[in-house]
Amino acid sequence: MNSVLDVMSAIGSLVIICLVIALTYYVSRWYARRAGVSAGSKYVKVLDRTHLGNTSSLMIIQVGGKYYLLGVSDKSMEMLCELEDFDRHVEESSMSDSAQAPFGQLLRGLMDKSGTRSKKRDDGGSE
């Protein structure tokens, strides 16, 4: 009889531990979603990000009504160019084709419009 109570006690403890783990999981997910919404900035939005390697990426951000292309690494962040007419360009590409243009093609088009690529050619730099 004593051994039956020991087994029941062990099973009860195991059930309680499983419930605590499940509750912790769901509460942490709820808190992360809530913190993510409240931690968002009112004026700065990250619109897109593509990883170039383990520690570097390109980001398109919106600050107010302006759009910027940033180069980001683990040690620095640099504004590469301002993307003029970005919102108009995105609207045109989404209306013209249901499939999205690849990020590289969109980036080349925006850099051509902003004059960044032609400046590099004038300076003797590579593309």
Write the pLDDT tens digit of every residue in 71-106. Answer: 999 899 999 998 887 777 666 665 555 455 677 777
Q: Provide the residue range defining the domain that includes 83.
A: 44-120
Is 50 part of any domain? yes
79 three-state secondary structure: strand
Is 72 part of any domain? yes
Is 29 part of any domain? yes
Do 116 and 87 lie in one domain? The reply is yes
Does 118 or 61 have the greater pLDDT score? 61
Is 52 part of any domain? yes
Do 108 and 71 lie in one domain? The reply is yes
Do 50 and 103 lie in one domain? The reply is yes
Is 104 part of any domain? yes
> How big, in percent rounded to 5, are the helix, strand and coil portions of the chain?
55, 25, 25
The number of distinct structural domains making up the chain is 2
Q: pLDDT tier at 16 (50, 70, 90 boundaries)? A: very high
What is the C-alpha separation between 18 and 71, in angstroms, rounded?
Answer: 45
Do 52 and 86 lie in one domain? The reply is yes
Do 66 and 6 lie in one domain? The reply is no
Do 17 and 70 lie in one domain? The reply is no
Do 33 and 60 lie in one domain? The reply is no
Do 33 and 53 lie in one domain? The reply is no
